[in-house]
Amino acid sequence: MYKQHLKDLISLKYRHKTPLAFVRTFGCKQNENDGERIKGILSGAGFSFCENPENADIIVYNTCAVRENAELKVFGILGEVKHFKEKNPDLTVILCGCMASEEHVIEKIKKTYKQVDIIFGTSAINELPRILCEHLEKHKFICDTNEYENYFSEGNEIVRTSDFMAGVPIMYGCNNFCTYCIVPYVRGREKSRPSEDILSEVKNLADKGYKEIMLLGQNVNSYGKGLSEDIDFPRLLRMINEIDGDFRIRFMSSHPKNATKELIDAIIECDKVCKHFHLPVQSGSDEILSAMNRNYTAESYLSIVNYARNKIPDFSFSTDIIVGFPNESEDDFVKTLDLMKKVQFDSVFSFIYSKRSGTKAALIEDKISDKEKSERMTRLLSLQREISTEHYKRFIGKTLTVLAEEENSEKGVVLGKSDEFIIVEFKADKDVIGNFVKVKITGAHNWALIGEIINI
């Protein structure tokens, strides 16, 4: 209903005949998918896209609030944008994503970043045409952080970054309230998407030849709550696995408290699902896990890993770990290192704890120094380098199926990922990008496997 009206307003306002939008997304895969949907809406309104924000008529920053440095980066960039706006007063600057739902951010923007014209919250993506119309008509600052129900934007255009790897949201929001985490406050409560809509999006992507489908959500393995159908995540995986096509299925992220044997069985039995589980553990100390409100123990985590490895010895696990949660003792930290040794993760994404205002952990008085935290981080990284180097050797001599993703023209190699989510480097023509190739593994770095392509 706003479409034609928006097109008319845009043609009056902007300097380019086909107006240009610059969209930059920060943060996780889910936010990247939101960015692609924002681009879809802008494209539907008549915008083309540019790579340089200085040329743009409209700039969108789709932000992340998970750690303080993510936010500082955006404030730094907004400082630069002020100069673009001085040169081109018709420029529209939009801030959305997770930071846009934080009270302290909104206050700061209103007070000191007057170059921002529009702020909208994470559930308001489909409201963008209306919000933009209102801004262009009334020439006023708009801040819309209401919670909207129509999050999943069925039927709207999506401008995808890749033509062979696609994210598909299956649930939105989070109910877990881990004590360190801002996500439940900025993304609202968990909502699952009806399976019919998920299946139709995946089918459509498979028909277009997409090779990797990543199912997205903050806690995908609690999928199904609140839907009128009788479904859970293992059943959803099995249904998606039935869709015809030459593609593989990944999912991100899962919570250990919902990691059941049924889920492991489904991963193992579904031929399209990668035998890899990204299962954030956060800490190996039960006391810290309890202070984090994670609702599992190091032992229950290990029992899931062992269940999978008893069935498939090469089953790959990766994880997220927070170093330096308030008052984490040396003993707690050593328990994390012990768990890493026991699990033998293929990769670990580690973060120094960042205090997020509004969360429960932000109220704890922390006695551990920053120096101690960064020393622990160094120890953790060095242990993981050893583990990866050793653990990757199990693949030498084996042939893996790799999805070729990008070229490194300086080194003259192509990089892709194996089923296990491990980076594989091999010499090949860049034409292989976007296809599955068989690569015989001949060696390993501590961050990747090296191999030779054996067919195209």
Residues of this chain that bind ligand F3S (CB under 6 A): 27-28, 30-31, 64-66, 97-98, 183, 186-187
The nearer residue to ligand SAH, 174 or 450, going by C-beta atoms, is: 174
Among 183, 281, 304, 444, binds ligand SF4 (CB under 6 A): 183
Residue 83, class by beta-carbon neighbours within 10 Å (0-12 exposed, 13-18 middle, 19+ buried)? Answer: exposed
Task: State yes or no: residue 176 binds ligand SF4 (CB under 6 A).
Answer: yes
Q: Cβ(399)–Cβ(438) under 8 Å?
A: yes
30 binds, among ligand SAH, ligand F3S, ligand SF4, none (CB under 5 to 8 A by kind): ligand F3S
3-class state of residue 278 by DSSP: strand
Site for ligand SAH in 211-240 (CB under 6 A): 218-219
Q: Is residue 318 a contact residue for ligand SAH (CB under 6 A)? A: no
284 binds, among ligand SF4, ligand SAH, ligand F3S, none (CB under 5 to 8 A by kind): none
If one asks whether residue 256 binds ligand SF4 (CB under 6 A), the answer comes out as no
Q: Considering only residues 139 through 178, tell me which ones interact with ligand SAH, judged by CB under 6 A.
A: none
Phi, psi of 50 (to 5 degrees): -125, 160
Measured at CB, which residue is nearest to ligand F3S?
27
User: Among ligand F3S, ligand SF4, ligand SAH, none, what does residue 303 contact (CB within 5–8 Å per kind)?
Assistant: none
Which of ligand SAH, ligand SF4, ligand F3S, none binds 96 (CB below 5-8 Å, type-dependent)? none
Cβ(282)–Cβ(253) below 8 Å = no
Residue 36: partners with Cβ closer than 8 Å, 6 or more residues away: 158, 159, 160, 161, 167
State how far the Cα of 339 lies from the Cα of 111, in Å rounded to an integer. 46
Residue with tokens 């390993």: 444
Rg (CA), the chain: 23
Interacting span for ligand SF4 (CB under 6 A) from 90-98, 169-177, 375-383, 394-402 = 169-177
Which stretch in 53-61, 349-357, 415-423, 445-453 sits in contact with ligand SAH by CB under 6 A? 349-357
The residue from 354, 401, 435, 446 that contacts ligand SAH (CB under 6 A) is: 354
Tell me the site size for ligand SF4, rule CB under 6 A: 10
Q: Are strands 118-120 and 436-444 parallel, antiparallel or unpaired?
A: unpaired
Beta carbons within 8 Å of 176's beta carbon, 6+ residues apart: 184, 218, 219, 255, 293
Cα–Cα distance for residue pair 5/48, rounded to 1 Å: 18
Stretch that binds ligand SF4, among 39-47, 69-77, 170-178, 397-405 (CB under 6 A): 170-178
The bridge status of strand 399-408 relative to strand 118-120 is unpaired
Q: What are phi and psi of 125, to 5 degrees?
A: -55, -45
CB-neighbour burial class of residue 13 (10 A; exposed 0-12, middle 13-18, buried 19+): middle
Based on CB atoms, which residue is closest to ligand SF4, 39 or 250?
Answer: 250
Q: Which is nearer to ligand SF4, 255 or 272 (CB)?
A: 255
Applying CB under 6 A, does 141 fall inside the site for ligand SF4?
A: no
- The mark string for 19-48 relative to ligand SF4 (x by CB under 6 A, - otherwise) is ------------------------------
Alpha carbon of residue 382 to chain centroid? 25
What the block records as the tokens of 269 is: 């039995």
| 184 is a site residue for ligand SF4 (CB under 6 A) | yes
Q: Which of 277, 353, 426, 436 binds ligand SAH (CB under 6 A)?
A: 353
Of 53 and 280, which has the nearer Cβ to ligand SAH?
Answer: 280
Count of residues engaged in binding ligand SAH, rule: CB under 6 A: 17
User: Considering CB distances under 5 to 8 angstroms, the limit depending on partner class, which of ligand SAH, ligand SF4, ligand F3S, none binds residue 177?
Assistant: ligand SF4
Binding letters toward ligand SAH, positions 272-291, x by CB under 6 A: --------x-x---------
Q: Which of 186, 216, 201 is nearest to 278 (CA)?
A: 216
Shortest gap between Cβ of 321 and ligand SF4 (angstroms)?
12
Of 181, 215, 433, 448, the one binding ligand SF4 by CB under 6 A: 181
Taking the CA atoms of 86, 89, 91 and 94 in sequence, report the sign of the dihedral they define: positive
Work out which of 6, 10, 21, 66 binds ligand SAH, going by CB under 6 A.
Answer: 66
Alpha helices, DSSP H, located in 294-369: 298-311, 330-343
Residue 291 in contact with ligand SF4, rule: CB under 6 A: no
Q: Give CA–CA dist 181/354, Å, rounded.
A: 9
Are the C-beta atoms of residues 124 and 144 closer than 8 Å to each other? yes
226 burial (CB, 10 Å; 0-12 / 13-18 / 19+) is exposed
Binding-site member from 28, 45, 109, 174 for ligand SF4 (CB under 6 A): 174
Q: 367: Cβ–Cβ under 8 A, 6 or more apart, which residues?
A: 327
User: Do the Cβ atoms of 85 and 52 come closer than 8 Å?
Assistant: no
The reply on whether position 322 binds ligand SAH by CB under 6 A is yes
Contact footprint for ligand SAH (CB under 6 A): 66-67, 180-181, 183, 218-219, 253, 255, 280, 282, 320, 322, 351, 353-354, 356
